């Protein structure tokens, strides 16, 4: 019952007029940003972060804004995936597989409303999961010492590499680059300057906002440059606009299943919405067997990834709130935002800042209702926004990015650094390195080094403290499992392929 | 091929940084690890990953396209010019110019780009500086405001 009390307290925070207004605004902006091809939740959150500061929002309001944007992006990504066959963000790649064929069959309206509904079901399931499990985990996480934290972060990085599977070395490398970028600046324990090259501007490290905006906005602008010539034609959202009861019943089981699966995947630190949507799509396809028309416009193929990616977006808030370890690239940005407010996410957050935590959780539920209410009638308006030409969009993104970076320190050096990082990010993207791993590494970097050194101070340099407690042993085991999984899968695939060859 | 090139240059960078990192020494030992070990550990791991990529690069579908690269270079130069002129010219003029050039790069037509650039400079300035209290440089306009 304690949880229920806290939840009521959270609703109290979330229904304050400013917070409701901010949630509404965030949901709208999030949907638009998620819809625009190429711009994902990380960009949305990164662009609004300076705004939240400039407005002097209190931390809970700022967090509600960012969470609304995050959820809104997951809703918005599907619009361009269905109408244009261009996923608005990485997580909605799977949505386009079945969504676009449906739109071509003249069922765009049904596809859009049904996917909004499955997004709603998915996030509601996951939010209930957050309410149930987050306080439990927070209580348990108080037992984490520095050594356990260090191993936990290694596990987070292994989740990135192991789950993505097809390019583990590149993912590892990207995470290492992020960790390395975080070492720039003055060392907090000894005061030694590291990798500053004598520059005063680098002495307190590379600012978080500069890294995020550089890597995501600037490199996105460069990537968009290549796609300017391919004009896309949006499918008109016509026909029946709302799904009927039969279609809803047909897909309801899929939504619930995928929502649950998405939630579980989302709670793993490091594994995000993209993986959740891909995995649920595959398993639904396998379960439907020959009766499904997956890839040609199966309603279940639309509902599964949408429910899963929204559920995992909410689920990824669990490791962020309870452990202070981000569950996805976007929550990594949110942790950065919280640290800017001098709030360190972690197990104590539930005791020290209940307003922030429960206000956020309650606002997730409210934000979901807002998004559902906004998305079904306003689809026409949103799809019109898809026709904003790039020659207006790109300069606007650039100018807002510049303002965001300039607002931190007001130096030209930061602007140039941002562009440098953007070019570097562009090269890495062209070479197929996952950028979200870099952000995750960058956020974890300082925490990881601090915890490692604190652990070794406790044990007076004895390395065995890193695997002496049961929690850390368990985490090492999970890490090994995650790293071993791609190899195991490959081995099994080879073994099943051999009889076919023979 | 490009992955190999990247891995090789990264390996070289790692070596340079490692030499640099070797010099990080605290005048007094505060903790058993010190400021040097962690960066060196990261660099070692990175070097190992680069070596792996050097030996076994994955296949890349991307082809080098000189035309696209030229445009990307132009875009980067525009952005750099924007960054460097940001304080000198002030937000309004720098944004108007950069938005105009970027718009042209993104296949906009001359007049609409000029108009959208000017509008963006003025509107964003009033939005951020006047409404949201983010201080932006006035640059050339400073003389007018002061007097």
For A1-57, the pLDDT digits (tens) are 677 888 888 888 888 888 888 888 888 888 888 887 667 777 778 777 777 776 778
Q: Are A338 and A344 in contact (CB under 8 A)?
A: yes
Selected residue of A185, A191, A199, A399 to mutate for chain B interface (largest B Cβ count, 10 A): A399
Closest by CA position to B107, among listed A135, A389, A345: A389
- What are the two backbone dihedrals, phi and then psi, of residue A194, each rounded to the nearest 5 degrees? -120, 130
* Chain segment B82-136, per-residue pLDDT in tens: 999 888 888 888 999 999 998 888 887 888 889 989 998 888 888 777 776 677 7
If asked whether residues B13 and B75 sit together in one domain, one would say no
Give me Rg for the CA atoms of chain B: 24
Q: Are A414 and A408 in contact (CB under 8 A)?
A: yes
Q: Partners of A280 in the beta sheet? A: none
Angle between helices A93-102 and A299-315 (to 10 degrees): 150
If asked whether residues B48 and B95 sit together in one domain, one would say no
Residue B61 lies in a domain: no
If asked whether residues B74 and B100 sit together in one domain, one would say yes
Q: Partners of A194 in the beta sheet? A: A185
d(CA B72, CA B84): 18
Inter-chain contact B106–A390, Cβ cutoff 8 Å? yes
Q: Are A309 and A275 in contact (CB under 8 A)?
A: no
- Residues in contact with A159: Cβ distance below 8 Å, sequence separation at least 6, in sequence order: A268, A269, A270, A271, A482
Q: Per the structure block, which two tokens stand in for A394?
A: 């790109």
**Residue A310 burial by Cβ neighbours in a 10 Å radius (0-12, 13-18, 19+):** buried
Q: Are A418 and A405 in contact (CB under 8 A)?
A: yes
Q: Residue B106: which of A187, A228, A432 has the nearest Cβ?
A: A228
If asked whether residues B42 and B81 sit together in one domain, one would say no
Instruction: Judge whether residue A229 has pLDDT over 60.
Output: no
Q: Partners of A186 in the beta sheet? A: A193
Residue B60 lies in a domain: no
Instruction: Judge whether residue B147 has pLDDT over 50.
Output: no
Task: State the smallest CA–CA distance between residue A337 and chain B in angstroms.
Answer: 17
Inter-chain contact A190–B82, Cβ cutoff 8 Å? no
The CB density around residue B68, as the number of other CB atoms within 10 Å, is 14
Q: Are B118 and B142 in contact (CB under 8 A)?
A: no
Selected residue of B1, B5, B79, B96 to mutate for chain A interface (largest A Cβ count, 10 A): B79
In the three-class reduction of DSSP (H, G, I as helix; E, B as strand; rest coil), residue A78 is classed as helix
In the three-class reduction of DSSP (H, G, I as helix; E, B as strand; rest coil), residue A164 is classed as helix
In the three-class reduction of DSSP (H, G, I as helix; E, B as strand; rest coil), residue A71 is classed as helix
If asked whether residues B97 and B130 sit together in one domain, one would say yes
Mapped to the 3 state alphabet, what secondary structure does A383-398 carry? HHHCCCCHHHHHHHHH
Q: Per the structure block, which two tokens stand in for B123?
A: 């509107």
- Out of B55, B76, B91, a domain closes at B55
pLDDT of residue A497: 65
Domain count along chain A: 1
* Chain segment A49-88, per-residue pLDDT in tens: 777 776 778 888 888 888 888 888 888 888 877 877 766 6
Selected residue of A176, A395, A406 to mutate for chain B interface (largest B Cβ count, 10 A): A395
Q: Euclidean distance between the first and final Cα of chain A, in Å?
A: 62
Residue A501 lies in a domain: no
If asked whether residues B43 and B74 sit together in one domain, one would say no
B135 touches chain A (CB under 8 A): yes
Residue B14 lies in a domain: yes
B76 touches chain A (CB under 8 A): yes
Residue A115 to residues A77, A240, A243, Cα–Cα distance (Å): 11, 14, 10
Residue A240 lies in a domain: no
Inter-chain contact A398–B24, Cβ cutoff 8 Å? no
If asked whether residues B47 and B76 sit together in one domain, one would say no
Residue B129 belongs to domain spanning: 66-146
Residue A242 lies in a domain: no
Closest by CA position to A199, among listed A373, A414, A376, A447: A414
Inter-chain contact B132–A51, Cβ cutoff 8 Å? yes
pLDDT above 70: percentage of residues in chain A: 91
Residue B30 lies in a domain: yes
If asked whether residues B131 and B91 sit together in one domain, one would say yes
* Chain segment A89-139, per-residue pLDDT in tens: 667 777 877 888 888 787 878 888 888 888 899 989 999 998 888 888 888
Q: Residue A225: which of B6, B43, B105 has the nearest Cβ?
A: B105
- Out of B55, B81, B98, a domain closes at B55
Residue B100 lies in a domain: yes
- What are the two backbone dihedrals, phi and then psi, of residue A193, each rounded to the nearest 5 degrees? -80, 130
- Confidence bin at A424 (pLDDT 50/70/90): very high
- In this prediction, residues A246-262 reach a mean pLDDT of 87
Residue A319 belongs to domain spanning: 2-227+248-493
If asked whether residues B106 and B42 sit together in one domain, one would say no
Residue A301 to residues A148, A260, A283, A284, Cα–Cα distance (Å): 40, 16, 10, 7
Question: What does chain B come to in residues?
Answer: 147
Residue A155 lies in a domain: yes
Task: State the smallest CA–CA distance between residue A44 and chain B in angstroms.
Answer: 17
Q: Are A176 and B10 in contact (CB under 8 A)?
A: no
If asked whether residues B78 and B141 sit together in one domain, one would say yes
Q: Are B53 and B9 in contact (CB under 8 A)?
A: no
Inter-chain contact A394–B106, Cβ cutoff 8 Å? yes
Q: Per the structure block, which two tokens stand in for A217?
A: 């906005």
Q: Residue A54: which of B34, B71, B132 has the nearest Cβ?
A: B132
Q: Are A232 and A86 in contact (CB under 8 A)?
A: yes
Higher pLDDT, A427 or A432: A427
Q: Are A394 and B94 in contact (CB under 8 A)?
A: no
If asked whether residues B142 and B72 sit together in one domain, one would say yes
* Chain segment B37-82, per-residue pLDDT in tens: 888 889 999 999 888 888 877 666 666 778 878 888 989 999 999 9
Residue A18 lies in a domain: yes
Q: Are A115 and A99 in contact (CB under 8 A)?
A: yes
Tell me the pLDDT of chain A averaged across its residues: 80
Residue A104 lies in a domain: yes
Inter-chain contact B79–A422, Cβ cutoff 8 Å? yes
Domain count along chain B: 2
């Amino acid at each position: 019952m304690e949880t229920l009390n806290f939840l009521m307290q959270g609703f109290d925070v979330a229904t304050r007029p400013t917070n409701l207004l901010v949630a509404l605004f965030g949901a709208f902006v999030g949907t638009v940003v998620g819809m625009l091809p190429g711009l994902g939740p990380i960009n949305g959150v990164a662009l609004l972060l300076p705004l939240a500061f400039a407005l002097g929002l209190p931390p809970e309001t700022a967090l509600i804004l960012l969470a609304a944007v995050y959820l809104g992006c997951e809703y918005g990504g599907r619009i361009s995936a269905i109408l244009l066959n261009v996923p608005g963000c990485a997580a909605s790649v799977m949505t386009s597989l079945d969504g676009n064929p449906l739109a071509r069959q003249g069922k765009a309206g049904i596809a859009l409303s049904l996917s909004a509904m499955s997004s709603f079901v998915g996030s509601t399931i996951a939010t209930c999961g957050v309410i149930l499990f987050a306080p439990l985990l927070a209580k348990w996480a108080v037992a984490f010492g520095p050594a356990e934290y260090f191993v936990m972060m290694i596990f987070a990085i292994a989740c990135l590499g192991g789950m993505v599977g097809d390019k583990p070395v590149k993912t590892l490398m990207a995470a290492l680059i992020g960790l390395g970028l975080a070492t720039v600046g003055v060392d907090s324990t000894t005061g030694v300057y590291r990798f500053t090259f004598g520059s005063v501007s680098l002495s307190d490290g590379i600012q978080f906002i500069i890294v995020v905006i550089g890597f995501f906005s600037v490199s996105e602008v460069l990537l968009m440059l290549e796609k300017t010539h391919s004009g896309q034609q949006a499918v008109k959202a016509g026909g029946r606009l709302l799904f009927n009861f039969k279609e809803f019943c047909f897909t309801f089981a899929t939504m619930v299943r995928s929502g649950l699966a998405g939630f579980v995947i989302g709670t793993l630190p490091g594994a995000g919405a993209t993986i959740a949507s891909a995995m649920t799509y595959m398993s639904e396809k396998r379960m439907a067997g020959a009766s499904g028309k997956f890839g040609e416009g199966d309603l279940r193929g639309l509902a599964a990834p949408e429910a899963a990616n929204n559920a995992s977006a909410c689920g990824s808030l669990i490791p962020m709130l309870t452990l202070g370890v981000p569950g996805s690239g976007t929550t990594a940005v949110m942790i950065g935002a919280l640290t800017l407010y001098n709030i360190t996410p972690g197990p104590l957050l539930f005791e020290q800042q209940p307003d922030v935590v429960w206000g956020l959780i309650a606002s997730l539920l409210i934000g979901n209702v807002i998004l559902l209410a906004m998305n079904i009638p306003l689809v026409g308006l949103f799809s019109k926004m898809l026709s904003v030409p790039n020659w207006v969009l790109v300069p606007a993104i650039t100018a807002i990015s510049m303002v965001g970076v300039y607002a931190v320190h007001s130096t030209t050096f930061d602007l140039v650094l941002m562009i440098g990082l953007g070019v570097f990010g562009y090269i890495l993207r062209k070479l197929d390195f996952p950028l979200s791993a870099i952000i995750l590494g960058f956020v974890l970097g300082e925490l990881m080094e601090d915890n490692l050194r604190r652990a070794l101070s406790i044990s007076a340099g004895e390395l065995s403290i890193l695997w002496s407690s049961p929690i850390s042993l368990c985490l090492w085991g999970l890490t090994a499992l995650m790293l071993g999984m791609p190899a195991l899968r490959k081995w099994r695939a080879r073994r099943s392929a051999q009889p076919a060859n023979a | 091929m490009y992955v190999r090139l990247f891995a090789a240059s990264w390996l070289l960078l790692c070596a340079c940084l490692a030499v640099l990192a070797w010099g990080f020494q605290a005048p007094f030992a505060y903790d058993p690890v010190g400021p040097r070990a962690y960066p060196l550990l990261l660099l070692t791991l990175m070097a190992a990953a680069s070596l792996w990529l050097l030996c076994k690069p994955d296949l890349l579908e991307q082809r080098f396209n000189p035309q696209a690269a030229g445009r990307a270079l132009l875009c980067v130069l525009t952005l750099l010019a924007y960054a460097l002129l940001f304080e000198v010219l002030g937000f309004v003029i720098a944004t108007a110019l950069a938005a105009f050039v970027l718009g042209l790069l993104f296949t906009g037509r001359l007049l609409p780009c000029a108009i959208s650039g000017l509008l963006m400079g003025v509107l964003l300035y009033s939005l951020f500086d006047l409404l949201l209290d983010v201080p932006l440089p006035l640059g050339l306009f400073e003389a007018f405001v002061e007097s």
